[in-house]
Amino acid sequence: MSTQNSTLRGLGYAFLGFAVFASHDALIKALGGVYSVMQIIFFATLFSFVPMAVTILTDRTTGNFLPHHPWLVLLRSALMVTAMSCAFYSFSVLPLAEVYSLLFSFPLIVTVLSIPILGEVVRAQRWAAVGVGLIGVLIVLRPGATDITLGHLAALTAAFCSAFASVLVRKIGNEERSAVLILYPMLLAIAVMSLAQPAVYQPPSLLHLAMMALVGVFSVIAQHLIILAYRAAPAGVIAPSQYSQIIWATIFGMAFFGERPDVWVAVGASVIIASGVYVVWRESRTNTTSANTPVLRVRSPRSDTGASRPGE
């Protein structure tokens, strides 16, 4: 019974965490119609820095803040800032459900990237899932039937960069302090976005400033809820819960932005989600042929939020 209760508690944390993430993304969309993405990221990261600094200070791992793999840590930080920028932009210009459909290609990209970076062996079944997921992406995009915009390319770039950053964590995470992996992306985001402020800054109202603060705070809250979820329940149970975000995206899109579900986006998202769930299932099998379980070991697929904490 205790195991069952722990699993239910883990699922509760996960569903709540991804609901907070969906609220975070809806705020970005609302702000994106008024402010530059670079201004939103700058203030959101500043507001998330204080609670994340508390996390950094509670890291009891001995050592300083110098990375053991400085170039890989810098590369991961750059990937996370790029993912965050692209995701924020895509949320500001595309329907929420459409963005999520493309971001859900994340586990498929992780599977492919884990081959050259982690030496993962991917057999026919998972290759087939990747292929099916690619078909789902094409259904969402419908090249030739609809225009592929910069927003679509940004969403796919966010998925790729998030996946790349996550695989790098699997490669260096055991040798780097959590504090290092948290601190460097945030500092890079603040530094890069601060340089852009003279060109993009618009004085925000108190309401909009509070919304930017909530974007940062929601990111931290959601990350911690998902970490708690993975501590309480098996990864194979928790990982598929990320797809609950598309339900919230549909609800928020209809309620606040006048978005109406597109049947082709729904079909494509279903195909992408099915292939992603299959990859998770294959990695979670007790007799799995996956040596690294790269998708299951990612505690949160949301590198686009900037303040992403590595798995424990």
For the chain, the three-class secondary structure string (H helix, E strand, C coil) is: CHHHHHHHHHHHHHHHHHHHHHHHHHHHHHHHCCCCHHHHHHHHHHHHHHHHHHHHHCCCCCCCCCCCCHHHHHHHHHHHHHHHHHHHHHHHHCCHHHHHHHHCCHHHHHHHHHHHHHCCCCCHHHHHHHHHHHHHHHHHHCECCECCCHHHHHHHHHHHHHHHHHHHHHHHCCCCCHHHHHHHHHHHHHHHHHHHHHHHCCCCCHHHHHHHHHHHHHHHHHHHHHHHHHHHCCHHHHHHHHHHHHHHHHHHHHHHHCCCCCHHHHHHHHHHHHHHHHHHHHHHCCCCCCCCCCCCCCCCCCHHHCCCCCCC
Residue 304 lies in a domain: no
Residue 298 lies in a domain: no
Amino acid 61: pLDDT = 63
Residue 305 lies in a domain: no
Residue 129 lies in a domain: yes
Max mean pLDDT range (36-40, 107-111, 286-290): 36-40
Q: Is residue 42's pLDDT more than 50? A: yes
Q: pLDDT-derived band of residue 1, with 50, 70 and 90 as boundaries?
A: very low
Amino acid 137: pLDDT = 94
Residue 301 lies in a domain: no
Max mean pLDDT range (2-6, 193-197, 282-286): 193-197
Q: pLDDT-derived band of residue 80, with 50, 70 and 90 as boundaries?
A: very high
Number of domains observed in the structure of the chain: 1
Q: Is residue 312's pLDDT more than 70? A: no
Q: What is the mean pLDDT of residues 296-304?
A: 60
Q: What is the mean pLDDT of residues 208-229?
A: 91
Q: What is the mean pLDDT of residues 79-101?
A: 95
Amino acid 287: pLDDT = 59
Choice between 144 and 18, residue whose per-residue pLDDT is larger: 18
Please check whether residue 32 is in contact with residue 93, taking contact to mean a CB–CB distance below 8 angstroms: yes
Please check whether residue 303 is in contact with residue 83, taking contact to mean a CB–CB distance below 8 angstroms: yes
- pLDDT averaged over the chain? 86
Q: Is residue 207's pLDDT more than 90? A: yes
Q: What is the mean pLDDT of residues 221-246?
A: 86
Q: pLDDT-derived band of residue 52, with 50, 70 and 90 as boundaries?
A: confident
Residue 217 lies in a domain: yes
- Picking from 47, 75, 50, the residue whose alpha carbon sits closest to that of residue 176 is 75
pLDDT over 70 percentage in the chain? 88
Q: What is the mean pLDDT of residues 107-129?
A: 88
Q: What is the mean pLDDT of residues 101-127?
A: 88
Residue keyed to tokens 């302090």:
177
Side chain identity, residue 6:
S
Amino acid 302: pLDDT = 60
Q: What is the mean pLDDT of residues 215-223?
A: 91
Q: Report how far residue 52's alpha carbon sits from residue 246's, in angstroms, rounded to the nearest whole number.
A: 27
Q: Report how far residue 250's alpha carbon sits from residue 229's, in angstroms, rounded to the nearest whole number.
A: 24
**Of the ranges 60-64, 65-69, 106-110, 266-270, which one carries the lowest mean pLDDT score?**
60-64
Containing domain of residue 273, as a range?
A: 7-60+69-285
**Distances from the Cα of 258 to the Cαs of 29, 250, 252, 255, 310, in angstroms?**
12, 10, 9, 6, 36
Residue 209 lies in a domain: yes
Residue 128 lies in a domain: yes
Amino acid 2: pLDDT = 66
Q: Is residue 307's pLDDT more than 50? A: no
Choice between 247 and 65, residue whose per-residue pLDDT is larger: 247
Residue keyed to tokens 């079909």:
267
